[in-house]
Structures are given as C-alpha cells and as structure tokens.
Amino acid sequence: MLAAYASHPEQSRGRLYPESAPSGRSQFQRDRDRIIHCNAFRLLEYKTQVFVNHEGDLFRTRLTHSIEVAQIARSIARRLGLHEDLIEAISLAHDLGHTPFGHAGQEELNLCMRELAPEAGGFEHNLQSLRIVDHIEERYAEFNGLNLCFETREGILKHCSAKHAALLGEVGQRFLDRTQPSLEAQVTNIADEIAYNHHDIDDGLRSGLITLEQLLDISIFATHYEQVVQLYPQLAEPQNRKRLIGEIIRRMIHTFVVDLSEATLAQLDKHRPKSADEVRQCPRIATFTPEMRAHADELKRFLRTNLYYHDRVLRMTLKARRIVRDLFQAFINEPALLSAEHRRDDFNDQARAIADYVAGMTDRFAIKEHRDLFSM
Ligand code: MG
C-alpha cells in the first residue's frame, strides 16, 4: 500500500521532454527500466567500490554495491509504504557518475579540472550521475539522456554546491531553498550508508586488511557476535569463520533497517505530512535513532581508519590518482589525442568533455588507456 506521504507516479512533476504515459507500467517503473538498459549502468560492473576490480572476483563493485543499496532501500520502502520502483530507480542510478578507482579517482579529476581548467566548473560525482541521465546517454531518438521523472532526478542529486544548483533549474532548487527531497530519496541515502558500511566490513575481512578481533572493539559488531555465538556456538570455531561473518553481518543489516524504519515512522507520526510535497517542507524525516546513528558513525570511523586508509589501499589510491591525472593532463594539453567525438572547439567545453570521457572509464579501461599513452 502506497502511503499518502509517498511519491505517487500519477502526481509526478514530469520529465524534461514531455512523453506519452507508459502503458502497463508506472512512470517510475519506466525510469527504473531505462536506467538498467543504459551504458553507464553496465560500466559500474568494472568500477571500484573499495578494491580495484582486478583484485578479486568476490569483492563488491559499483554495480553490486548499487544492487545491494536497491535491495535494502526496497525493503525499507515496503515497510514504510513508499514507492518501491522509484526507490529502486534512485538506488540503481545513484552512483552512475562515479569515476574509475572510486573516491580517489573522483577527487583527482576534480583537482585536475580546478587546476587546469579553473573556469570549467570542477567535477562532482553526484552531479555527474545527474549529467549522465540528463545529457550524456545517447539512446533515444527524441532527446539526449534518459529523460527521467523529476522525482528520480531529485533522488539522484543528493548533494550539490549552491553554484551548480543555481544552474540546474527545478531539480537544484531545494539546495537554494534548503528544503528536503522526497522520502524515497531520503531513505535511499541512508540505505547507501547501510550497504557500504556492511559490505566494506565483509570485503575488508575477506581481504585480510581488517580482522575479526579488531571488529570486536566495535560495540554494535560485538553485540551481534555475542548473539550469534550464543545461538550457534560451533560458529566460533575457526573453520566456520565465513559463516560466522555472514550471520553477524546479515543480522546487523537487519538491526539497522528495523531501527531506520521505526525511527522514520516516529518522525512521520510527529510531522504528519499528507503528501510528498509536504514531506519536502518538513525537516529531514528519514533517520536512525540517535543510538543507532552513533553506531553507524562508529562503523564509518573504523572503516576509514583501518580499511580506506590502510597502506595497501593507499598504494592503490596513489596509482589511481596518477592514472587519472596523467590522462586528464595529456588530453587537455593535446586534444588531438582524443577521438573526434570527444573534441570541442571551446577550451572549457573541451575540459568538460575530457572529464566526461575520463569519468566514464572503467578501472581496466583507464589502466589500458594509460598504458597506451605512456608506455611503448
Ligand atoms: Mg553509493
């Protein structure tokens, strides 16, 4: 049952280019379907989440991360009566604008843009996700991009500088007005956090960069560990390590999902929005309880210190930054190295086209392109 405060497809604020209503599926289903069929979505398979794609087949990629976000967001949507197709569309599209090599690649691309083309406007991965669905994809006869509904685009644009927001029209307005997005967008944002906190623990343990013993200092992990070994004492034995980790993590995800759902219902009860538009005017509604917020922050701090800044990860980060910088510099200094479709007459347009090209690369394509340009 769709709640009154949910996003209702028949009340959508519409698409940039008017289209006839879809038959046999809702507007938001159409958006979800368009995202799954676009090029940028398939490229997520070969883009880094934390571990570079070639490091091992079991590690998360941007694609499996996005699917896990969609799973968590959908299950919260069902508990809260939100629109499941919209929340799935936002989840699957939220990382489309990510560069190769995760955050390191994105930061380096932004630095390159700011240093070498200061008038071109920098690079923000979140804005890039919107740029892909609004402009970059070339699949439809009548428009560039995917021509998604306002509600999907609103959810994709999680954060945005005031300067960029002012150029985006309706979808950027909330960053100037300081209002909230739909509840589907708010929930996806937290589902993203639940997903990466847990799968990064799982991947971190698998890689051996973090250990179970370290994690036992984290109170929410320790609580669930105690629960599991009390119920299944045999899982404490070393040969059952994989199953132990799986059982702890699935229970932790459940705890966060239940807490988020209940705390959000309490906020809904307090503010009583009667439509998606009233949600936009309320303070932020999707939330953990303060206690779970503290647990989530503790997990994030742990991962930052022990995984994202682990020397083995930092070595990869260093190489990733160099590849992105070398590529950007080579192309901006010598646009003739680019194929005709990426060349532009105006310098700032050229910088943006290079940023689009580099951002669109998968890890392995960027490595190959770098080798092509810099090795004999
Ligand atoms: Mg994400």
Across the 376 residues of the chain, what is the mean pLDDT of every consecutive 10-residue run? 96 95 96 98 90 78 96 98 98 96 94 96 94 96 97 95 90 95 98 97 94 97 98 96 97 98 98 98 98 98 95 92 97 96 97 98 96 93
pLDDT at 55: 75
pLDDT at 58: 84
For 29, 254, 344, the CA distances from 268, given in Å and listed in that order, are 26, 21, 50
CA atoms within 13 A on the CB side of 365: 13
Between the CA of 249 and the centroid of ligand 1 the distance, in Å, is 18
264 is written with which tokens? 């959000």
Between the CA of 231 and the centroid of ligand 1 the distance, in Å, is 33
Between the CA of 315 and the centroid of ligand 1 the distance, in Å, is 22
Task: For residue 61, list its beta bridge partners.
Answer: 48
Between the CA of 220 and the centroid of ligand 1 the distance, in Å, is 22
Distance CA 3, CA 276 (A): 10
For 25, 135, 149, 152, the CA distances from 140, given in Å and listed in that order, are 19, 11, 15, 18
The CATH topology of domain 16-202+247-374 is Hypothetical protein af1432 (1.10.3210)
Instruction: Identify the CA nearest to 262 among candidates 80, 3, 86, 4.
Output: 80
Can you tell me whether residue 185 is helix, strand or coil? Answer: helix
CA atoms within 13 A on the CB side of 140: 18
Instruction: Identify the CA nearest to 354 among candidates 370, 371, 368, 337.
Output: 337
How many of the other CB atoms lie within 10 Å of CB of 33?
15
- For the chain, the domains span 16-202+247-374
Between the CA of 65 and the centroid of ligand 1 the distance, in Å, is 7
Residues 6+ apart with CB under 8 A from 309: none
Distance CA 367, CA 47 (A): 12
Between the CA of 62 and the centroid of ligand 1 the distance, in Å, is 7
Between the CA of 149 and the centroid of ligand 1 the distance, in Å, is 21
Between the CA of 246 and the centroid of ligand 1 the distance, in Å, is 21
Instruction: Identify the CA nearest to 360 among candidates 164, 143, 137.
Output: 137
Can you tell me whether residue 281 is helix, strand or coil? Answer: helix
